[in-house]
Structures are given as structure tokens and as C-alpha cells.
């Protein structure tokens, strides 16, 4: 083992010497690949560099045809090299040509080589290229050889990132992080934000890569880890953190990672292989991030950002940058750019400095998007490549209306968006003037405009927006941002705070809706499902685990003592589930009565209509419950058989098409016939054009994000409802209806000067 460990140290020493020599970039690369091949006894060593057009170009090789340098190319995802770049994961193969991704490039002459070891060239999780060694004999490369090649790739990543290879790249194809760049994705929340980039995975640039004294670096690493653990323990012991579950959850995850033996072992190994403590953290962090990015387990992906933040805290400690320096450096117009992040992490940023959020992953129903919507900041999602193309401090524009971002925008683009922001500000001023006015149509019909909420951070919006109440309080968000199941006392406190903030306005609490894409890290009984949206979730889960529901119901009953309590059951499929849930609720009422607890003076139980099977039980449902709410997001997904998180289908079907409008009308008509109140809560209620349509169908209660209430109220004030009802009846009745319903509704709004 001692001899095996000596190899990487010798190689790193030679690379350090090569980096210090005054060499032309191509000569330096050629000598680097020769040095690697010699050290690893490889017959081939090749370096491919990723260009701005997503093509991997061969930049240097020993063993392959030298004439193929700068000519051999592979697309991202093509061949073994393209697969490594796309997945950011190494490949170790004894016979490369048997791998299904193998692609033969005749100009290289590589067909005589069998064994193959390739690693991504990574910097801060960004793939910059691929480094490969090959041999004719069929062999599996050892773990220490893989470690050596990964460490070498890190050194090459610094060369690429610092622009040393710029002269070797054809004009227009270099990764230039000074040029303007625009990205198109999806709109997750409306609004426009102008500001400066704050990368959620802040990149601490490590310039000191090679250690002079391994034992000294190990001591520095051990000291920094000890300080890190103490600082996390100190934060957890503070009263303000101890009683705030949202922030505590993140710190609990940090403590778990900070004491992870596998992580510490990998850091030690990297230092023993010749890196400084900082470079070891950077390398292990980059490798871990790249691997976790491609995991399909949603919990691991959600917690990836926790690990990243912890590693960056350790880097800052090693390099003398305390957490207070990072907080002070946050610009006053911060736009967070992240691959993905959790809801609790967004809450850690100072709210008064946030101007927008950009996500490479996620969906409109992601937990962080729900929180961002409650905070009223624009969100653009599915922005693939945004993190790799952005640097901290870059000017950026987030167009949440169109689902676009502009990095380092040109002055005319910035001026156009600045005017758009001023125009929106004037409109918001108008909406504030409408806040205390009734939400009536032009012909005097009243419509209740309620807001959706789920965390304590949402509560001030109730008064600010002028909402008539909370039509949907998502109780599961409290569970999702916690490290363990929230205790009954914590649940009761949150529910009491919500009712106190409502000041007598109605609040509808949806019982815990977990499962599917809403994963609780501490809930170990959830099984892997091929289609979690249709699986063990919401009421199906809580009826199978009644202790969950009993604890929550007891907390709600105690919090609502002397007031009205509205309880709503999610994902109901058949009436028997309501009867089972009512038995649990009645049992808790009897239990609290026995001990003389103050109980709600009115208890109303409702159900969400999300599953199409309820459409054939509507009359019985309306007679069974006190109220119903239409969950338009899930109902549309199930009726149209379309995964709302699938970007290929996101624009294929329209919620304002006649088939779905007929479903919605059927529900509201059943409510009227049975004298049962019907509310619609979901994305459909939050846009003026779709809210106008809902009111035309007969809905008199809709619930939306707080930021949507002003625009919807302004729309109602100009809406001639009787005329719209007649228009909709004709549009939905004519043969072949449905193809252009949205266009027809937009035309109706324009003809009648209705602001949409």
C-alpha cells in the first residue's frame, strides 16, 4: 500500500513543476498527458475539453493518433467520453468496446486498446472536460489509480478555469464567462427581478493545491473540522434557533454530515495524496456534488445542497473567511442561482435582499417554489447550464413572466427590463389601493379571494394582500423543513399562530399531504414506487399510519379552542376514506373533552377533489362533507394523464380547454345543487385569465398565492359577469369546441377592456 500511495504524490510533484515552467499551453498539455501515462504505466492518456457548443474536443493525447488533436470531437452524452461528461461520473472498464456507449472514432486509432479509465474534469461541480487513460491488456484499474487520475483532473480543471487554454480554442467556442448569455426555461412564479448573482453553491476558489507538509495539512484539516462541529453545536443551542424548526432542520443535517466518517476519510486520503487541506475539501466536495446530482432518490437530491453548504463552510474556515463575511458580502439586490435547493435554505437568506430565484431543476410545485411564491419573488426554473455559466456578482435579469433569464445583459436589454419593473411597481401600487375594497365583479357579484399558505413566513401576507382568508394551509411544509417529526407542541403553536394572524378570517387546514414527491427524510417506511403521484400518499398514508393523523388533529383541535376549525382531507378517492378519517377526528374530540380542553366552537370537515373517481360520487360527497376544495393541479394531471413535472408535456394540454372546463363546471354545479361551498385552490386560480374563467363557470371562492390577489381583484372590477357566462356557455356547447378556448377568452377580455 505504501508503494501504491507513492505514485500519486510523485505525479502531483511533477505536475506542480510543469505548472511552474514557462511553457506554451499546448506543450504544457502534451507533457502533462505524457507524465500521467508514464506514472500510471498507461499506453494512452488523452484530455478532452468541453466547448461552449457542448462538444468535447480532443486537446492532447499520447498513444492515439497525434493528428486527431483538435479534430476528434464527441457530443455531450456521445460515446464513453461524452457519457462521463454528461453524468460527471468516472468509468472504469476492462473492455471498453463492450460498453453500450462505446463510439469508435477512426481518426484516433484507439480500436486496439481495451481497458479504459475516464474521469470528469470538475471544478465546483462544473464539468470542464474528461481525462482518460487506456491500455491494450484487459484490466480493471485500481482504486488508488482512480484516485490519482481524479486528483490530476482537478489540477487540469484549474488550468481550464483560469483561461490558460484560451488560445487553443477556436474563436466563439471558448467558455467565456464575460459574454452575455440568455436561457429559456419555465415560469415558476411571475415577476421580474434585476440584480446580481449569488450562487447558492458559493465557489471558494482554491489556488494553493499542493501541500509541502502532509502532517501539517492533516492537522489544519482536523482543527477546522473541530471548529466547524463546535460552531454548528453553538448555533443549535441558541434560543432563537432552538425554537425555530425551519432553520434548525438545516443545522441538524449539517451536524450529521460534519460527523460523517466516510466524508472525513475521503478528505484525509486526498491530503495524503499530496493536496492541501483546502484543495482536498474542494476535490471531495466537487466529486460528491457531481455524483449526488445524478441520483434519482429525491431525498438525496434535496439534501445535496445541505452537504454543499457544509463543505463550503469548512473551506471558508480553512481560508479565513468566517460566515459573517459571507453575510456581509450579500448584495442588496441578490438573485439566487442554484441547481436545486430546499425550502428551509431559501428562508436562510435575508428576505429584504432577495430579488429573484433561478433553478436548474425543480417544478412549479417544488417546495422551494411554494416558499418563494409566498415571499413574492420571481422564479424561473429548468434553466439548464445557468450555474455553470454564472459567477458570483454577475449582473442578471430574471423574467418570471416568460421563464427566461439574462446573464450579463447588454445595456439596452437591461433598460427595457428596468422599465418593465417600473411599470409593474405602478401596477402594484394600484393593487395596494384595491386591498381594502370588496372583490366584486362589474355587475356586483362578490367573489371570495383567499390565499394559500404553509409556513409562518406566509402569515404577514394575509393582511398585506387583502385576502378574505386562507383557503389552503399546507400543513406538510412544517414537516418537510424539519429534521424530525414536529412534536405535537410545535404543531399546536404553528396552528395557533396562524389562527391568531387570521384575526377571525376563515382558515382551511389541509391535513398532512406527504408521499409522492413530498419526501420526509426521517420517514423511513415510504417504499420506492414506480409512480409515486398515484401511490401511497396523503390520506392513503395517514389512514395507514393513524398516529400521524391523530397527533395532528389533536394539535389542531387544541389550537382552535373557542374558534372555528376547518379541516380538509387531501387525495380522497372514495367516501369510505372520509368516514375513516372522521372516526379518528371524533375520537380525538372525545379524548380532549374528557380532559376538559377548550374545543373549537365550530368544526367543519371538507375534502379535496383531486382524484377523478370523485366525479362519479359528487352528490354523495357534497352531502357527506361541509365543504369541498378543488385541487386543480392534481386534478388536471390525472384527468389529462399528463405528468405536470414533465417539461415535454408542460405545454401540450391546456387547463382552459373545454374538456377540463366541463369537469370544473360539473363540480361547482354539484355544490350549488347540494348547498355545499366549493373553493378552487391551485395554480389555475392565480392568473387573471384563468380566474376570470373560473368565475364565469360559477366559482365564487378561489384561493391563490398572495401576490396574485391584487391582479385578480383588478380583473374582477372590470368583469361583466353575465356577458362572460353567456359567452362561456356558447363556447363550451358548440361542436368541436376546445381547440382555441384560451385564445377566445383572451379575445373576450380585450374586447371588454378586462385587465389580464
**Do 115 and 44 belong to one domain?**
yes
Cα torsion angle, 704, 707, 711, 714, sign:
positive
Is the predicted pLDDT of residue 245 greater than 50, yes or no? Answer: no
| pLDDT the model gives residue 708 | 85
Mention every residue, 6+ apart, whose C-beta is less than 8 A from residue 498.
453, 459, 470, 473, 507, 509, 559
User: Is residue 619 over pLDDT 80?
Assistant: yes
144 and 246 belong to one structural domain: no
Split into its structural domains, the chain has a count of 3
pTM of the model as a whole: 0.58
Which of 92-96, 188-192, 474-478 shows the lowest mean pLDDT across its residues? 474-478
Q: Are 194 and 400 in contact (CB under 8 A)?
A: no
Q: Between these two residues, 321 and 382, which has the higher pLDDT value? A: 382
Confidence of residue 246 (pLDDT cuts 50, 70, 90): very low
What pLDDT score does 391 carry?
80
E strand spans, 400-443? 404-407
pLDDT digits (tens, 9 = 90+) for 371-390: 787 677 899 988 876 876 78
CA geometry: angle 24, 26, 30, nearest 5 deg: 115
Q: What pLDDT does residue 520 have? A: 62
Instruction: Read off the pLDDT of each residue in 425-441 and give the average, rounded to a whole number.
Output: 83
Is 368 domain-assigned?
Answer: yes
CA distance linking residue 163 with residue 165, whole number of Å: 5
Q: What is the pLDDT of residue 495?
A: 94
- Whether 667 and 519 map to the same domain: the answer is yes
CA–CA gap between residue 76 and residue 54 (Å, rounded): 6
Contacts of 669 (CB under 8 A, 6+ apart): 698
Taking residues 187-215, report their average pLDDT: 80
Cα separation of the two ends of the chain: 71
How far is C-alpha 84 from the chain's CA centre? Answer: 24
Contact (CB, 8 A) for 666 and 615: yes
* Rounded CA separation 179/166 (Å): 14
Query: Looking at residues 449-468, what average pLDDT do you find?
Result: 84
Whole-angstrom Cα distance, residue 395 to residue 195? Answer: 6
Write out pLDDT tens, residues 338-378.
877 765 567 667 777 899 999 987 776 566 787 787 677 89
- Tens of pLDDT, residues 11-24: 878 887 887 788 88
Look at residue 160 and tell me whether its pLDDT is greater than 80: no
The CA distance from 271 to 273, in Å, is 5
| Confidence (pLDDT) at 600 | 95
Asked if 455 and 593 sit in the same domain, the reply is yes
Contacts of 729 (CB under 8 A, 6+ apart): none
- Does 432 fall in a domain? no
Length of the chain in residues, anyone?
A: 756
Residue 704 three-state SS:
strand
> Given this model, what pLDDT does residue 298 score?
47
Q: Sheet containing 55-62: which strands, arranged edge to edge? A: 73-75, 55-62, 44-50, 126-135, 115-123, 91-93
What string of H, E and C letters represents the secondary structure of 553-566?
HHHHHHHCCCCEEE
Does one domain contain both 716 and 567?
yes
Write the pLDDT tens digit of every residue in 663-694.
999 999 999 999 999 999 988 898 899 999 99
Query: Would 430 be classed as within a structural domain?
Result: no
Distance in angstroms (rounded) separating the CA atoms of residues 552 and 492 = 8
In the prediction, which pLDDT does 553 show?
95
Question: Is position 338 within any domain?
Answer: yes
The better pLDDT of the pair 248, 179 is held by 179
Residue 145 has pLDDT above 90, yes or no: no
Check: CB of residue 459 under 8 Å from CB of residue 374. no
The pLDDT value given to residue 524: 57
Residue linked to cell 470528469: 120
428 band by pLDDT with thresholds 50, 70 and 90: confident
259 or 296: which leads in pLDDT: 259
Say which CATH number the domain at 33 has. 3.30.450.40
**Is the pLDDT confidence value at 2 over 80?**
no
pLDDT of residue 299: 46
List the beta bridge partners of residue 451.
470, 704
Angle among Cα 16, 19, 20 to the nearest 5 degrees reads 90
Grid cell listed for 411: 445595456
**What's the pLDDT band for 285 if we cut at 50, 70, 90?**
confident
DSSP 119-133: EEEEETTEEEEEEEE
Whole-number Å distance between alpha carbons of 323 and 448: 45
Q: For residue 420, what is the enclosing H or E element?
A: helix 411-434
Whether residues 157 and 255 share a domain: the answer is no
pLDDT classification of 267: cutoffs 50, 70, 90: confident
Q: What is the per-residue pLDDT for 323?
A: 47
Q: Is the pLDDT of residue 499 over 90?
A: yes
pLDDT at 473: 93
> Among candidates 568, 570, 569, 555, which has minimal Cα distance to 600?
555
User: Crossing angle of helices 658-673/632-639, nearest 10°?
Assistant: 130
Burial of 607 per CB tally in 10 Å (0-12, 13-18, 19+): buried
Given 419, 454, 486, which residue is the final one in a domain? Answer: 419
Q: Is 31 helix (H, G, I), strand (E, B) or coil?
A: helix
| Triad 301, 305, 306: Cα angle to 5° | 110
C-alpha cell, 220: 489544519
User: What's the CA gap between 499 and 505, in Å, rounded?
Assistant: 8
- Strand bridging mode 73-75 / 55-62: antiparallel
pLDDT, tens digit, for every residue of 626-635?
Answer: 999 999 988 9
More confident residue, 462 or 247: 462
DSSP, collapsed to helix, strand or coil, labels residue 394 as: coil
Q: How far is CA 243 from the centre of its chain?
A: 26
Contact yes or no for 53/75 (Cβ under 8 A): no
Residue that has been written with the C-alpha cell 408542460 in this structure: 650
Last residue of a domain, one of 108, 139, 168: 168
Using DSSP's 3-state secondary structure scheme, residue 221 falls into helix
Please check the confidence at residue 622 and state whether its pLDDT lies above 80.
Answer: yes
Q: Has residue 110 got a pLDDT over 80?
A: no
Mean pLDDT (the chain) is 82
CA 739-745-746 angle, 5° bins = 110
pLDDT score for 334? 93
What grid cell was written down for 263?
Answer: 466524508
> Which pLDDT belongs to residue 601?
95
- Domain boundary, last residue among 391, 419, 447: 419
pLDDT (tens digit per residue) in 544-555: 889 989 999 999
* Residue among 226, 345, 214, 338 nearest 280 (CA): 214
CATH code, domain with 258: 3.50.30.10
The single-letter DSSP state of residue 349 is S
Considering only residues 484 and 65, tell me which one the structure prediction assigns the higher pLDDT. 65
Reading the block at residue 525, the C-alpha cell is 417506511
Alpha carbon of 600 to those of 179, 453, 468, 472, 589: distances in Å?
A: 61, 21, 21, 19, 9
Position of cell 429534521?
A: 483
DSSP 89-103: --EEESSGGGSTT--
Asked if residues 499 and 559 have their Cβ atoms less than 8 Å apart, the reply is yes
Residue 594 belongs to a domain with what CATH number?
3.20.20.60
Answer yes or no: is 428 within a domain. Answer: no
**106/220 same-domain check:** no
Q: Which of 27-31, 110-114, 197-201, 480-484 has the highest mean pLDDT?
A: 27-31
Residue 479 three-state SS? helix
Distances (CA, A) of 508 to 299, 495, 584: 28, 11, 18
Label residue 172 left, alpha or beta by phi (over 0 means left) and psi (-120 to 50 means alpha).
Answer: left
Residue 244 lies in a domain: yes
Q: Detail the DSSP E strand segments found in 7-54.
A: 44-50
Looking at the fold, whether 105 and 197 belong to one and the same domain comes out as no
Give the mean model confidence (pLDDT) for residues 116-139. Answer: 87
Q: Are 287 and 361 in a shared domain?
A: yes
DSSP code at position 602: E
With respect to residue 177, please indicate whether it lies within any of the assigned structural domains: no
Q: How far apart are CA 407 and CA 392, in angstroms?
A: 11
419 burial level (CB within 10 Å; 0-12, 13-18, 19+): exposed
Give 198's contacts (C-beta < 8 A, 6+ positions apart): 330, 331, 334, 335, 336, 337, 349, 392
Percent of the chain whose pLDDT exceeds 70: 80
What cell does 374 get?
A: 409566498
Structure confidence at residue 164 (pLDDT): 67
Strand segments, DSSP code E, in 661-712 are 677-681, 701-704
Are 399 and 472 in a shared domain? no
* 638 and 500, same domain (yes or no): yes
Report the alpha-carbon distance of residue 133 to residue 313 in Å, rounded.
34
- What percentage of the chain reaches a pLDDT higher than 90? 34
705 within 8 A of 671, measured Cβ to Cβ: no
In a 3-state reduction of DSSP, which class is residue 448?
Answer: strand
Instruction: Tell me whether residue 178 is in a domain.
Output: no
Q: Are 607 and 664 members of one domain? A: yes
Q: What is the mean pLDDT of residues 83-110?
A: 82
- Show the domain range for 198: 183-419
Amino acid at each position: 500500500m505504501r508503494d501504491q500511495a507513492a505514485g500519486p504524490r510523485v505525479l502531483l510533484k511533477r505536475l506542480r513543476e510543469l505548472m511552474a515552467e514557462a511553457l506554451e499551453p499546448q506543450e504544457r498539455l502534451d507533457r502533462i498527458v505524457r507524465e500521467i501515462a508514464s506514472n500510471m504505466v498507461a499506453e494512452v492518456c488523452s484530455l478532452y475539453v468541453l466547448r461552449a457548443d457542448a462538444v468535447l474536443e480532443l486537446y492532447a493525447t499520447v498513444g492515439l493518433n497525434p493528428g486527431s488533436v483538435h479534430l476528434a470531437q464527441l457530443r455531450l452524452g456521445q460515446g464513453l467520453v461524452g457519457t462521463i461528461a454528461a453524468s460527471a461520473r468516472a468509468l472504469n472498464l476492462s473492455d471498453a468496446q463492450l460498453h453500450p456507449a462505446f463510439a469508435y472514432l477512426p481518426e484516433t486509432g484507439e480500436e486496439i486498446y481495451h481497458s479504459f479509465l475516464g474521469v470528469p474534469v470538475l471544478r465546483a461541480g462544473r464539468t470542464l472536460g474528461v481525462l482518460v487513460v487506456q491500455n491494450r491488456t484487459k484490466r480493471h484499474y485500481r482504486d488508488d489509480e482512480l484516485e490519482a487520475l481524479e486528483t490530476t483532473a482537478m489540477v487540469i480543471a484549474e488550468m481550464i478555469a483560469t483561461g490558460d487554454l484560451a488560445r487553443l480554442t477556436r474563436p466563439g467556442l471558448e467558455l467565456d464567462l464575460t459574454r452575455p448569455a440568455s436561457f429559456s426555461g419555465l415560469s415558476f412564479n411571475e415577476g421580474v427581478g434585476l440584480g446580481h448573482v449569488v450562487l447558492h453553491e458559493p465557489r471558494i476558489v482554491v489556488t494553493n493545491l499542493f501541500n509541502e507538509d502532509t502532517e501539517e495539512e492533516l492537522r489544519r484539516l482536523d482543527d477546522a473540522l473541530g471548529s466547524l462541529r463546535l460552531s454548528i453545536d453553538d448555533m443549535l443551542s441558541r434560543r432563537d434557533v432552538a425554537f425555530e424548526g425551519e432553520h434548525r432542520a438545516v443545522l441538524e443535517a449539517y451536524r450529521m454530515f460534519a460527523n460523517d466518517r466516510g466524508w472525513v476519510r475521503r478528505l484525509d486520503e486526498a491530503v495524503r495524496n499530496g493536496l492541501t487541506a483546502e484543495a482536498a475539501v474542494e476535490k471531495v466536495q466537487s466529486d460528491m456534488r457531481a455524483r449526488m446530482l445524478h441520483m434519482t432518490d429525491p431525498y438525496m437530491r434535496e439534501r445535496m445542497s445541505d452537504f454543499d453548504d457544509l463543505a463550503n463552510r469548512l473551506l471558508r474556515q480553512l481560508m479565513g473567511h468566517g460566515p459573517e463575511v459571507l453575510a456581509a458580502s450579500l448584495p442588496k439586490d441578490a438573485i439566487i442561482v442554484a441547481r436545486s435547493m430546499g425550502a428551509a435554505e431559501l428562508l436562510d437568506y435575508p428576505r429584504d435582499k432577495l430579488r429573484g430565484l433561478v433553478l436548474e431543476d425543480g417544478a412549479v410545485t417544488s417546495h422551494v417554489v411554494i416558499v418563494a411564491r409566498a415571499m413574492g419573488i420571481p422564479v424561473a426554473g429548468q434553466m439548464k447550464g445557468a450555474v455553470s455559466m454564472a459567477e458570483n456578482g454577475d449582473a442578471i435579469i430574471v423574467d418570471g413572466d416568460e421563464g427566461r433569464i439574462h446573464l450579463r445583459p447588454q445595456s439596452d436589454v437591461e433598460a427595457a427590463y428596468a422599465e418593465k419593473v417600473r411599470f409593474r411597481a405602478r401596477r402594484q401600487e394600484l393593487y395596494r389601493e384595491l386591498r381594502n375594497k370588496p372583490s366584486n365583479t362589474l355587475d356586483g357579484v362578490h367573489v371570495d379571494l383567499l390565499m394559500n399558505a404553509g409556513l409562518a413566513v406566509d402569515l404577514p401576507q394575509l393582511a398585506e394582500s387583502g385576502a378574505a382568508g386562507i383557503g389552503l394551509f399546507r400543513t406538510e411544509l412544517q414537516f418537510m423543513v424539519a429534521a424530525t417529526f414536529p412534536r405535537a407542541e410545535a404543531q399546536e403553536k404553528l396552528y395557533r399562530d396562524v389562527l391568531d394572524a387570521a384575526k377571525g378570517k376563515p382558515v382551511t387546514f389541509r391535513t398532512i399531504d406527504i408521499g409522492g414527491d413530498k419526501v420526509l427524510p426521517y420517514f423511513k417506511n415510504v417504499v420506492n414506487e414506480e409512480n409515486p403521484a398515484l401511490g401511497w400518499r396523503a390520506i392513503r398514508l395517514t389512514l395507514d399510519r393513524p398516529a400521524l393523523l391523530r397527533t395532528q388533529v389533536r394539535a389542531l383541535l387544541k389550537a382552535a379552542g373557542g374558534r372555528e376549525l376547518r379541516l380538509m382531507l387531501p387525495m380522497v378517492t372514495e367516501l369510505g376514506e372520509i368516514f375513516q378519517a372522521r372516526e379518528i377526528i371524533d375520537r380525538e374530540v372525545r379524548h380532549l373533552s374528557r380532559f376538559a380542553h377548550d374545543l373549537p366552537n365550530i368544526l367543519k370537515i371538507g375534502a379535496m377533489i383531486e382524484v377523478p373517481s370523485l366525479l362519479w360520487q359528487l352528490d354523495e360527497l357534497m352531502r357527506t362533507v361541509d365543504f369541498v376544495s378543488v385541487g386543480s393541479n392534481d386534478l388536471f394531471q390525472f384527468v389529462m394523464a399528463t405528468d405536470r413535472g414533465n417539461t415535454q408535456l408542460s405545454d401540450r394540454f391546456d387547463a382552459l380547454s373545454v374538456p377540463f372546463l366541463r369537469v370544473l363546471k360539473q363540480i361547482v354545479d354539484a355544490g350549488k345543487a347540494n348547498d355545499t361551498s366549493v373553493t378552487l385552490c391551485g395554480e389555475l386560480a392565480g392568473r387573471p385569465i384563468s380566474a376570470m374563467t373560473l368565475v364565469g363557470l360559477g366559482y365564487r371562492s378561489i384561493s391563490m398565492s398572495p401576490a396574485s390577489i391584487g391582479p385578480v381583484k383588478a380583473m374582477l372590477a372590470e368583469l361583466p359577469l353575465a356577458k362572460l357566462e353567456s359567452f362561456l356557455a356558447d363556447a363550451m356547447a358548440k361542436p368541436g369546441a376546445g381547440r382555441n378556448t384560451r385564445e377566445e377568452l383572451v379575445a373576450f377580455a380585450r374586447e371588454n377592456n378586462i385587465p389580464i
